[in-house]
Amino acid sequence: MQDVLEGLADNPALPERLLERLAQAGDEDIHHLLARRDDLTEAQARSLLAHDDADVWTLVARGRIAWAEVPRDVPHLLVAAAQAGIAPEAAVRELAAHPDPEVRGQAAYYVTGLPPDVLTALARDPDTHVAECAAQSSELSAELAEELARHPHVAVRAEFAGNAHAPPALLAALLADGGRPAPSRCGACHRRAERCPDHAPGVRRIRLAAAANPATPPAGLEEFLDPGEPWAAGEFAERTDLPADFHPRLATHPTPYVRRTVARNPRLDEPLLRQLADDPDPEVRRAVAENPAVPLALLTALAGRQKLPREPLPRILAATEAELYEPAVSRVAQVRALVAARPDLPAALVDLLAADPDIGVARRIALHPGLGEDRLTELVERHGPPVYGAVARNPGCPAALLRRMARDADSGRRTLRVIAAHPALPPDVVERLVADPDPRVAAAAAAHPALPGETMERLIEQACAGRPSA
């Protein structure tokens, strides 16, 4: 019953009169789902607040209750109110000056639009954690950014070095040597009186953070091509602004993660793509297939010997109609399936692939929005239950075909879950599926807007009747 109640809490057609009754029947999970509803009124939000296990944070963070009703003695709720923009500036300033550094850190990290002087005070906070949170802000002034780049603590500089909104010139300086002057405090020494003899590990941390930042200029990244720095190399290998001489070194890196990342880089030339297409790691070969610049002939060759993603591939999406015809008639079923996955296929290719005998091709083409009722019915009759799930995902699947598939005893639970969520499903089928023994099928049906209101009310009353008295 819990799954059905959760589905009802998500149902956009839940009558307003039933919301409070559902809240009475439900637990904290139901209250959380109700608090997240887009159509929740202020009166309903106040009603939810009356429950002991109400999700107050969600109600506040989504701006569902007025500032006057936000509990003043719960700091994280005040932060949520500031984040939602319902807290007055005076309250935001109080948060930024709160005696608990955790609260100040939350204000620095989560609240946007902070007054400049408040953000400056947080960046200069004596507690390192608070300054770290401020260093990640996207709203730093040029002067404050320079100050954070020179912060004496390694951790603050490292957070700033990872900030994609930081000025490139400052990031380049942090990449070069950790910034000047050198940091004087780190995690190993900030809790004791004596200082570390040096902060070499901390400086390395700063440089690695800058190397992984896409806003850092590529000049200076060459050192991180070293096999001993696989994490940093893997973070920047897909950047399209790298010098061309980086690519061969990345493509031959001993760490597969780095080769997988660079294999998706659209700036790679064809010889390197062909080299990576023969990589011993299957994930590297799959990454080549996902590269928007992979030659179509290489992609189809890969499909003949390597399992590829089901999602439409960038190169197929960019192909012209003339380029698509040859792979659409390939003898390799997976090649034809790659074409069938493209959502904007020309009508002639849709008709061609809809008649394909391969189930893999059928599952891909069944999703095509251009297929009419006759074509979808032909797919169901030709392939049976193995194609039901894909047909049910087609937004144009007609009600009669959904009813037919839902009635088939061979329809699996996974297929029924998809059918239960289809917007064209008739109300009587929705009502039948809400009683399905599979809880996920029942939940999907309970969330369907076509579920009759009287059925919703009956289910809620059943839950209320079965709930223990307080």
pLDDT digits (tens), the chain, 470 positions: 889 999 999 999 999 899 999 998 888 999 999 999 999 988 899 899 888 888 999 999 999 989 998 988 899 999 999 999 999 999 999 999 999 999 999 999 999 999 999 999 999 999 999 999 999 999 999 999 999 999 999 999 999 999 999 999 999 999 999 999 988 888 766 555 566 677 788 899 999 999 999 999 999 999 899 888 888 999 999 999 999 999 999 999 999 999 999 999 999 999 999 999 999 999 999 999 999 999 999 999 999 999 999 899 999 999 999 999 999 999 999 999 999 999 999 999 999 999 999 999 999 999 999 899 999 999 999 999 999 999 999 999 999 999 999 999 898 999 999 999 999 999 999 999 999 999 999 999 999 999 999 999 999 998 887 665 44
CA nearest neighbour of 143 among 117, 125, 162, 161 = 117
Cβ proximity of 255 and 230 under 8 Å? yes
Composition of the chain by helix, strand, coil, percent to 5: 60, 0, 40
Cβ proximity of 2 and 445 under 8 Å? no
- Residues 338-366 as b/e (b if ≥16 CB within 10 A, e otherwise) read bbbbbeebeeebbebbbebebbbbbbbbb
The C-alpha atoms of residue 318 and residue 185 are separated, in whole angstroms, by: 51
pLDDT score, position 469: 46
Structure tokens at 430: 């929705």
How far from each other are the two terminal CA atoms of the chain, in whole angstroms?
Answer: 19
pLDDT score, position 182: 87
pLDDT score, position 470: 42
Whole-structure pTM value: 0.86
> How far from 447 is each of 35, 274, 418, CA to CA, in Å?
16, 48, 12
